[in-house]
């Protein structure tokens, strides 16, 4: 019996051990599955919540006026906002245009989803043809801006190759992981928009050029409600126009200029010539309105003005009776009191229509004392002397001239400080980036942002080429990308650099002396010459003695080379330039460019 009892207990113990091992294995298996599940969940959470940084890279428009272009890059996708030109500075002799360096975009062209344009001014669209010649990408913009871009592309024979998508204000377009919303804005040209760029890390707002006008000519007020709505939802960053950031108060409404035009046109028996920016369609509309009220015909002068008005009329942005506009060739068929001429040249540009009229060189319009000239613009910084000269020349002819110092015939298209405060208060961005301005303007805009509560640590005063990265952990300036300016001279793009500009400046200031010598290459003996040709240095007939002395100096230097058995022409040329430069400076205190030419005989 004892044996049977022991065997039964032993079996029960073994069975209990087996059950325990099974339970332990089950628990371990469950633990392993739990660990694997936790790991999977952790990996899924990392995959779901770890986002890449948004890169904001301005390639132009900072610390300068013009050449506006900004890159928004998220992951492997890029959106470009605007692509404009800048006008050459005084020391850029012979240069027609300045465009941004797009080396970074060329290296990353497979990432680019599209080019988005805020409005149709040259400093925002002028460089598009040069970009498209290197990278073929679609363009997204509003109606009038699209029409102006089409005109440019047609001139460059790029229209058929380019896709231009017209976007309505209030519409949102999908460009990969980023979406761009077009928000109605106000500026000195119709169809200007503010861009809300919706990215995986949040919404970024780019204002483009803007002002807050409650009584715009076309009735298209800024969509302040939508900006406030986006502000309530949360805006990561605001890039805002800084042009008028140094001016206090508000910018006057464009409609206020129309009242001034009406007063000037009323009871005026003279022919009226109005110069303004060709792109200011609202201004042109008000000039036309005043002309219609007073029963005057309107003629257009200046190629850019003609192109702009034709495009605006075709798209319905300028409204006027059909018989109001006449060809410029028909102006002699009408008495002065029935004519208005709208022209370019409000900035005193050298070849503009108004400048040629003032100089008496215009083929179709001759200014007389019976003309009232209205310059409906203020001089862009740097153009003051040019504008003053045109005004003086017009007054010397006897014409009556009205300009911004005498009447309120111009208002800006850019926001002043109080409007900038309203924009920041509506949007309430986490990060603020002042754009579109020179350094002092960016500083002033930063100070305005601080006054309305933006954390100074969240204001980024960046520069062209700097990368601003914004992510979940914050924002910081990181590296740089290639940037700069490409000079356009005629059909040449980028073939004029600092060395060429320096030579042009040297020639313009000091002139040129060319030394021509025919030599026997084997003996180094002078066969003929030296002949001396001077341009922009001295008038040869009145300085024959100086030229004779130059020839004598050249002969003496070549004789020294012969005595030293120097036959290398490069060495001879260098010696000629150095010694002749010293001699000429000693005699004249001038430093002309010296160019020796040695011919082998």
* Active-site residue, from 82, 101, 241, 393: 241
Which of 443-453 are b and which e, b meaning 16 or more Cβ less than 10 Å from the residue's Cβ?
A: bbbbebbeeee
What are 414's strand-pairing partners? none
Contacts of 494 (CB under 8 A, 6+ apart): 486, 487, 488
22 token code pair: 């099974």
Which of 546-581 are b and which e, b meaning 16 or more Cβ less than 10 Å from the residue's Cβ?
A: bbeebeebbeebbeebeeeeeeebeebbebbbebbe
What are 437's strand-pairing partners? 62
6 token code pair: 């022991």
3-state helix, strand, coil in the chain (%, to 5): 40, 25, 35
Q: Tell me the C-alpha to C-alpha distance, in Å, between residue 597 and each of 518, 570, 577.
A: 9, 10, 11
Q: List the one residue out of 464, 457, 589, 568 whose CA is nearest residue 103.
A: 464
What own/partner pairs with CB < 8 Å and gap ≥ 24 does 218-223 have? 218/190, 218/282, 218/317, 220/169, 220/184, 220/186, 220/190, 221/184, 221/186, 222/184, 222/185, 222/186, 222/194, 223/169, 223/170, 223/183, 223/184, 223/185, 223/194
Q: Tell me the C-alpha to C-alpha distance, in Å, between residue 146 and each of 152, 167, 558.
A: 10, 9, 65
Is 414 among the residues known to form the active site? yes
CA 138 to chain centre: 19
- CB contact at 8 A, 112 and 91: no
Give, for 73, the enclosing helix (H) or strand (E): strand 69-74
DSSP string spanning 315-373? TTSS---TTSEE-GGGGGGS-GGGEEEEES-TT--TTSHHHHHHHT--SS----TTEEE
Q: Tell me the C-alpha to C-alpha distance, in Å, between residue 460 and each of 362, 431, 470.
A: 49, 8, 11
Contacts of 427 (CB under 8 A, 6+ apart): 205, 227, 230, 231, 235, 238
* Active-site residue, from 124, 414, 436, 445: 414
Residue 281 main-chain phi, psi, to 5 deg: -65, -40
Q: What is the radius of gyration, based on Cα positions, of the chain?
A: 35
DSSP single-letter state for residue 523: T
Report the C-alpha gap between 164 and 167 in whole angstroms. 9
196 token code pair: 């809300």
Report the C-alpha gap between 346 and 353 in whole angstroms. 9
Is 124 among the residues known to form the active site? no
Residue 578 main-chain phi, psi, to 5 deg: -65, -45
Report the C-alpha gap between 436 and 415 in whole angstroms. 12
Give, for 29, the enclosing helix (H) or strand (E): helix 2-49
470 token code pair: 């914004």
**Catalytic site positions:** 241, 414
């Amino acid at each position: 019996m004892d044996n049977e009892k022991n065997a039964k207990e032993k079996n029960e113990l073994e069975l209990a051990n087996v059950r325990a091992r099974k339970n332990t294995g089950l628990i371990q298996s469950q633990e392993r599955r739990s660990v694997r599940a936790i790991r999977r969940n952790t990996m899924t959470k990392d995959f779901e919540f770890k986002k890449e940084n948004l890169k904001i890279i301005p390639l132009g428009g900072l610390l300068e006026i013009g050449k506006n272009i900004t890159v928004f890059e998220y992951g492997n996708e890029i959106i470009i906002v605007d692509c404009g030109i800048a006008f050459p500075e005084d020391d850029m002799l012979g240069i027609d245009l300045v465009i941004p360096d797009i080396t970074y975009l060329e290296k990353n062209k497979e990432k680019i989803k599209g080019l988005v344009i805020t409005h149709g001014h040259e400093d925002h669209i002028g460089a598009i043809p040069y970009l498209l010649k290197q990278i073929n990408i679609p363009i997204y913009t509003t109606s009038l801006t699209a029409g102006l871009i089409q005109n440019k592309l047609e001139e460059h024979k790029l229209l058929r190759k380019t896709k231009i998508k017209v976007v309505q204000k209030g519409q949102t377009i999908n460009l990969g992981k980023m979406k761009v919303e077009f928000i109605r804005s106000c500026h000195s040209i119709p169809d200007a928009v503010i861009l809300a760029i919706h990215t995986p890390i949040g919404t970024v707002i780019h204002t483009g050029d803007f002002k807050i006008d409650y009584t715009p000519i076309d009735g298209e007020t800024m969509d302040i409600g939508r900006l406030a709505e986006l502000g309530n939802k949360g805006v990561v960053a605001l890039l805002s126009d800084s042009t008028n950031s140094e001016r206090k108060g508000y910018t006057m409404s464009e409609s206020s200029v129309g009242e001034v035009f009406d007063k000037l046109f009323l009871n005026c028996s003279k022919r009226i010539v109005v110069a303004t920016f060709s792109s200011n369609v609202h201004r042109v509309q008000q000039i036309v309105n005043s002309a219609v009220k007073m029963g005057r015909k309107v003629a257009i002068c200046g190629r850019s003005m003609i192109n702009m008005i034709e495009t605006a009329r075709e798209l319905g942005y300028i409204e006027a009776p059909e018989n109001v506009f006449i060809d410029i060739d028909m102006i002699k068929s009408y008495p002065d009191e029935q004519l208005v001429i709208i022209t370019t040249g409000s900035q005193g540009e050298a070849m503009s229509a108004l400048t040629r009229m003032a100089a008496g060189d215009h083929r179709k319009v001759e200014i007389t004392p019976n003309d009232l000239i209205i310059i409906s613009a203020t001089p862009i910084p740097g153009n003051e002397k040019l504008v003053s000269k045109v005004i003086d020349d017009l007054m010397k002819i006897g014409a009556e001239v009205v300009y911004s110092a005498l009447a309120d015939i111009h208002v800006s298209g850019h926001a002043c400080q109080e409007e900038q405060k309203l924009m920041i208060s509506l949007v309430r961005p986490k990060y603020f980036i002042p754009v579109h301005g020179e350094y002092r303007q960016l500083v002033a805009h930063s100070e305005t942002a601080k006054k309305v509560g933006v954390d100074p640590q969240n204001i980024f005063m960046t520069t062209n080429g700097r990368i601003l990265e914004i992510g979940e952990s914050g924002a910081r300036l990181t590296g740089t990308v290639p940037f700069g300016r490409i000079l356009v001279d005629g059909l040449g793009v980028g073939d004029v650099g600092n060395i060429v500009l320096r030579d042009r400046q040297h020639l313009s200031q000091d002139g040129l002396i060319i030394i021509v010598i025919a030599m026997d290459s084997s003996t180094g003996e002078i066969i003929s010459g030296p002949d001396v040709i001077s341009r922009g240095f001295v008038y040869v007939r009145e300085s024959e003695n100086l030229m004779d002395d130059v020839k004598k100096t050249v002969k003496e230097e070549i004789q020294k080379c012969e005595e030293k058995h120097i036959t290398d022409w490069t060495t001879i040329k260098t010696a000629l330039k150095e010694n002749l430069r010293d001699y000429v400076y000693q005699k004249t205190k001038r430093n002309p460019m010296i160019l020796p030419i040695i011919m082998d005989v």
